[in-house]
Amino acid sequence: MEPIYGERLRVGRRRIFTDEKNIDQGNVVAVLAKAYTKHCQNVIDMDFLIDYESGIHPKIRDRVKEIRPTIDYKVADNIAHYVTRFKIGYVWGSDAIYIQRGNNEIHETEGLEDNKGVAGLNEMLVNGEDISHKRQAIAEFVEKVGIGYSLVDLKTADEFTEKMVNDDGVYIDSPCHVYNLDSRTSFIVYHNGVGQREVMGVTYVIREDNSKLFTCYTNDSVYVIENAEVKSVTPNLFGMIPIVEWDRSTTRAGCFEHCIEDMDALDILVSDAANDSTQRTQDIWWGHNIALPTDENGKTKEPESGEWVLTYTPQGLGDRGSDAKISPLASTYDGASAQSQIYRKFNHILQKCFVPVQSETTGGGSTGSAMDMSSGWSAMELDALSEEASLKHAMRKELRLILRAVKFVPEKILPSDSPVRKLHHTDIDLHFPRRRNYDLSVKANALATLLGRGVYPPHCLKAVEIFPDNEQVWRDSMEMMLEYQKKVCILQPTETGKQATNSEKEMGADDRILQDLSDQVSNSPRLQQGV
């Protein structure tokens, strides 16, 4: 079954609500039954979107060609795949990492201790869970269907290595399991009231006989349900639902589904161009004042490919003064105009999906930020920032679960004085590194200027967006950065009697402290020109 255009598709995945404030063994089966029915509606849309991204486009597949049906190319241009791969590469290509929020925070933990703990937590997830690979799998669902799910699970004692930290001080194991879940077999149920808090998380498996085994998590219990019967109830040691729901946006829609009708139109344009090209090669021929020879049965002999066509003028027609003619029956077709329409439609879809347009340019005149705005990179970054805000909500819940799992790790595996044990989720911020390889000279200048003004170095690293792991750079460069700050931030007297830093004294009062890109903004061509 496929979703109906305009009715269910393109509105994003629906949230699932229940009127029950609390879920217990007495009502869990009834709540699950109602929630699963609503979940199935989302599954229909998700299956359609996953198929569409893979190249199954119903509109062009089911299109009927009335004229010359033997020449009927159905081309799925599949720009949906291009948009999806670009979004995953840009937003998720450099995995988000944990960084220290600040040196002075409400828990009054020593700054260096927090720094060691955050760096250790990153090492745990990278070395123990290969978290970047798992986030890529989540990205496939989030970008295609709008929502994704992960599950944080405690490890048993025998699942740990001998020590979580090796002799070199490197964290080699994770305090918990982080599993990716299929969005079509997982969902969260929310309370239908103020705050819309989570009341139950559900994941299930479909067995070979098509029976389903559900695992339902509440804040205090875990229920295993099969055939509408509770099979087991165990305590939930986390004290919170361990299933994390990743929303791409507030609409919970995939990255391309709002442009599906435009993509269908592009398929038609490309298919028609392919059909016309073939029909030009296989023209219909028109004969005037001629007759083709017949065989012994009186049937007209049709010419075969590559042979000469010998005709004659039938009796009674030759005396009319008309010459025999044979030529292809064709209409004038503007191929350049068709290609222009395809190109314009393709770029229009990319604009609506906030994907930069890749086009050839002749001559110069557009550089730096002007090129960023004209090609769509600036718009892409704004869209990525909006998506990042939604993803941070899921990552913060996942972070809280991981830090709770740390408490259950035996002390012989992770020492009680480990900096990771002292971390609180408010000590940690989330960093999404992207596009670190452009305007390096400007960023290096900005970094030096911020350090010279006495800004705390981790905040400087976060601002300039150069390095993929700011926390590790800060640990490796801490002594040098602090030494540099001590040198350039010493106050020196000026001619006016005011105090200035060494860096200000060297630059002079009238010099700009950073390169100014405002002169490039005016060079940007209008985005909508000629569209």
Is the distance from CB of 14 to CB of 38 less than 8 angstroms? yes
Same-domain status, 300 and 389? no
Decide if 201 contacts 241 (C-beta within 8 A).
yes
Q: Is 264 contained in some domain?
A: yes
Residue 347 and residue 452 in one domain: no
What contacts 89, CB < 8 A, 6 or more positions away? none
Same domain, 455 and 488: yes
Q: Yes or no: say if 89 and 136 are a contact pair by the CB < 8 Å rule.
A: no
Q: How far apart are CA 249 and CA 443, in angstroms?
A: 30
d(CA 491, CA 503): 10
Task: Report d(CA 279, CA 266) in Å as an integer.
Answer: 20
pLDDT for res 45: 93
As separate numbers, helices (DSSP H) first and strands (DSSP E) second, the chain gives 15, 15
Residue 356 lies in a domain: yes
Residues 201 and 116 in one domain: yes
Please state the three-class secondary structure of 509-531 as a single string: CCCCCCCCCHHHHCCCCCCCCCC
| Overall residue count recorded for the chain in this entry | 531
3 in a domain, yes or no?
A: no
* 3-class secondary-structure state, position 506: helix
Whole-number Å distance between alpha carbons of 459 and 113:
17
The residue with tokens 């017949």 is 294
pLDDT of residue 509: 41
pLDDT in tens, the chain (531 residues): 444 444 445 578 999 999 999 999 999 999 999 999 999 999 999 999 999 999 999 988 888 887 777 777 888 889 999 999 999 999 998 888 888 876 655 555 665 778 888 888 988 898 888 898 999 999 999 999 999 999 999 998 888 867 787 777 778 888 999 999 999 999 999 999 999 999 999 999 999 999 999 999 999 999 999 999 999 999 999 999 999 999 999 999 999 999 999 999 999 988 888 877 766 655 566 666 667 777 788 787 776 655 556 555 655 555 555 566 776 655 556 667 788 888 899 999 999 999 988 765 555 555 555 555 566 788 888 899 899 999 999 999 999 999 999 999 988 888 888 889 988 888 888 888 776 566 778 888 888 888 888 888 888 888 887 787 777 788 788 888 888 888 887 654 545 445 555 555 554 444 555 555 554 545 555 444 444
Residue 477 in tokens: 């460069």
β partners of residue 98: 430
Q: Assess whether 179 and 111 both reside in one domain.
A: yes
Task: Tell me: do 147 and 169 sit in the same domain.
Answer: yes
Q: State how far Cα 374 lies from the chain centre.
A: 22
Place of tokens 């001590």: 486
Confidence at residue 205, expressed as pLDDT on a 0 to 100 scale:
96
Q: Are residues 192 and 43 in the same domain?
A: yes
Total-model pTM: 0.77
Say if 219 falls within a structural domain.
no
Tokens 């219909």 correspond to what residue? Answer: 284
Asked, for residue 120, whether it belongs to a domain, the answer is: yes
Burial (CB < 10 A; 0-12, 13-18, 19+), residue 258, is middle
Domain count, the chain: 3
Residue 116 lies in a domain: yes
Q: Are residues 147 and 30 in the same domain?
A: yes
Rg over CA atoms, the chain: 33
Q: Based on the fold, state whether residues 348 and 338 are members of the same structural domain.
A: yes
**Side-chain-side CA neighbours of residue 260 (13 Å):** 29
Select from 81, 77, 27, 423 the least CA-distant residue to 274. Answer: 77
Each residue of 63-74: b (16+ CB within 10 Å) or e?
A: eeeeeeeeeeeb
248 and 316 both lie in a single domain? no
**Number of other CB atoms surrounding residue 219 within 10 Å:** 16
Amino acid at 315: Q
Please indicate, yes or no, whether residues 454 and 321 belong to a single structural domain of this protein: no
Secondary structure in 3-state letters for 17-30: EECCCCCCCCCHHH
Q: What is the DSSP code (8-state) at residue 127?
A: I
Residue 171, pLDDT score: 82
Q: HEC profile for 302-321? A: CCCCCCCCCCECCCCCHHHC
Q: Give the pair of three-digit tokens for residue 111.
A: 């700054």
Asked if the structure places residue 525 within a domain, the reply is no
Query: Which residues contact residue 433 at a Cβ distance below 8 angstroms, ignoring those fewer than 6 apart?
Result: 94, 96, 97, 465, 467, 468, 469, 470
Is 248 a domain residue?
yes
Is 355 in the same domain as 478?
no
Tokens representing residue 4 in the block: 């109906």
Q: What are phi and psi of 444, to 5 degrees?
A: -65, -40
Considering only CA atoms, which of 126, 127, 103, 125 is closest in space to residue 114?
Answer: 103
Answer positive or negative: Cα dihedral of 368, 370, 375, 378: positive
Cα gap 203→188, rounded to integer Å? 9
Q: How far apart are CA 235 and CA 220, in angstroms?
A: 6
The boundaries of the domain holding residue 468 are 438-518
Contact 75, 271 (CB under 8 A): yes
